[in-house]
Amino acid sequence: MKSYFFHLLLICASLSYKWITMRKDFDLMLSEKSRNVVSSYDSIRRRSVTQKLKLSTNTYDDGALEDAKNFRNDPTTPVKQNATLLMLVRNWEVQGALQSMRSLEDRFNKEYNYDWTFLNDVPFDKVFIEATTAMASGKTNYAVIPKEDWDCPEWIDQKRFNQSLQLMQEENIVYGNSRSYRNMCKFNSGYFFRQKVLDNYDYYFRVEPNVEYFCDFPYDPFKIMKEKNKKYGFVIAIYEYEDTIPTLWESVEEFIDIKGDELGLDLDNSAYDFITDFEIYGSNKFLIDSNTNYNLCHFWSNFEVGDLNFYRSNRYIEFFEFLNEKGGFYYERWGDAPIHTLAASILLHRDEIIHFDEIGYEHAPFRTCPRSYFMRLSQRCQCDYSGENNVDIEFNSCLSRWWKNGSGKKFVKEL
């Protein structure tokens, strides 16, 4: 009996082994068929073409990300232009200055080591100088602004000025009651480029405390400015508060009437239409509340890259001096952003102004973040392109007006 059961056990074990072997062979056959099905579409998926990471969006460039990495890791030593990073800043703003410096150094300047130039209406203290020198990858310059370039001019009617301060404070206009803000706007409009510390430079990149640069720079903005003959560069364009500039456009029109022929202004080939176009675009039915022929569009000048020789030109100096004599920097609250914008739009050819479309940037409360998925990946951006503060195509942005009336919608790499 024992022999019978033992023999039966051997038969069961043999059958079980054969079943397991057959099941393995069957599974292998199914796996092979599955692999064949998957690989049969490789020509469409193009995985046989490249083993590199392919973007999940619709692109026909399989090596896009790898190419971007190779560009970023190019061992070639970049050629520096005759340019400086420029910051107007107070001693007590040192932490905000360091934040901006660290961001720009990490995203751009560590590869180029451009000089930093710091301006203040009082001497910089030891703490500020030591901290910013340590943060900079290039040389640092420090200069005190002469009083005649910074202070309120003696010819300004102080009674009228004080009345303006009081009225704007009552109307809750931003910086409406600030004397120093007016000094700053006048300085940035007509005196920053006259500082001796800048005499040997051709280009400047304006940097303010407490700003952020979200993406690696895919190019050197200074090189673009020089090679493409650009005079003024921006990233954000929005509307100005008309209550701060009620008579500015009237003064600009007067300048054009009086000086236009003498200076040879060519409004047909300028960006004049950018600042006078009131057409409604797209789904944002934003009605411009302006009492003049100026649509209030301006380049947000806390980020700007400019040709210092444009500001040093007779054209620009005459433009500024004409406006300065009106007293609007103090009797009203004219900002340097509309001044720079109006000057560039009237005095320059539209193709001499450039929108740096691939640079991510924030100066509270607004930001610009590239909407291109590829750009955000290849430039290692850290920003939310869909956020409400990403102003580029929101109702309060003038960018669509620039695309229509300026030099058009172009990527810098296409220029």
The 10s digit of each residue's pLDDT in 50-91 is: 555 555 555 555 555 566 555 555 556 788 999 999 999 999
Q: How confident is the model at residue 18 (pLDDT cuts 50, 70, 90)?
A: low
Percent of the chain with pLDDT over 90: 70
Specify the DSSP class assigned to residue 119.
E
> What tokens does 186 get?
């006048």
Most confident of 10-14, 24-28, 38-42, 404-408: 404-408
Single out the catalytic residue among 212, 304, 332, 362: 304
Token pair for residue 33? 């068929």
Predicted confidence at residue 40, as pLDDT, reads 63
CATH topology for 83-414? Answer: Spore Coat Polysaccharide Biosynthesis Protein SpsA; Chain A (3.90.550)
Contacts of 274 (CB under 8 A, 6+ apart): 297, 345, 350, 398, 401, 402, 405, 406
Q: Give the model's pLDDT for residue 42.
A: 60
- pTM of the predicted protein model: 0.82
278 compared with 35, residue with greater pLDDT: 278
Domain positions in the chain:
83-414
- Quick one: pLDDT at residue 389? 83
Residue 374 to residue 364: CA distance in whole angstroms: 25
Q: What is the rounded CA–CA span in Å between residue 41 and residue 43?
A: 5
Cβ(55)–Cβ(65) under 8 Å? yes
DSSP 264-280: T--GGGTTHHHHH----
- Measured from the Cβ of residue 5, the count of other Cβ atoms closer than 10 Å reads 9
Q: What is the mean pLDDT of residues 87-107?
A: 98
For the cut 80, the answer to whether the pLDDT of residue 31 exceeds it is no
DSSP states of 163-227 as a string? HHHHHHHHTT-TTTT-HHHHHHHHHHHHTGGG-GGGTT-SEEEE--TT-EE-S--SS-HHHHHHH
CA atoms within 13 A on the CB side of 239: 21
Please tell me the distance from the alpha carbon of residue 256 to that of residue 342, in angstroms, as a whole number: 11
What tokens appear for 225 in the block? 């400015």
Identify the helix (H) or strand (E) that includes residue 120.
strand 115-120
Q: Of 2-6, 102-106, 367-371, which range is least confident?
A: 2-6
Establish whether 154 is a catalytic residue.
no
Q: How many CB atoms lie within 10 A of CB 412?
A: 18
Residue 159: the pLDDT is 97
Q: What is the 3-state secondary structure (H, E, C) of 77-115?
A: CCCCCCEEEEEECCHHHHHHHHHHHHHHHHHCHHHCCCE
How many Cα atoms sit within 13 Å of 261 on the Cβ side?
A: 2
Q: Strands across the sheet with 232-234, in order?
A: 140-144, 115-120, 83-88, 203-206, 304-307, 232-234, 353-355
Burial of 246 (0-12, 13-18, 19+ CB in 10 A): middle
pLDDT over threshold 60, residue 4: no
* Mean pLDDT, rounded, of the chain: 87
- What tokens were used for 21? 């072997």
Q: What is the pLDDT of residues 105-156, one digit of tens each?
A: 999 999 999 999 999 999 999 999 999 999 999 999 999 999 999 999 999 9
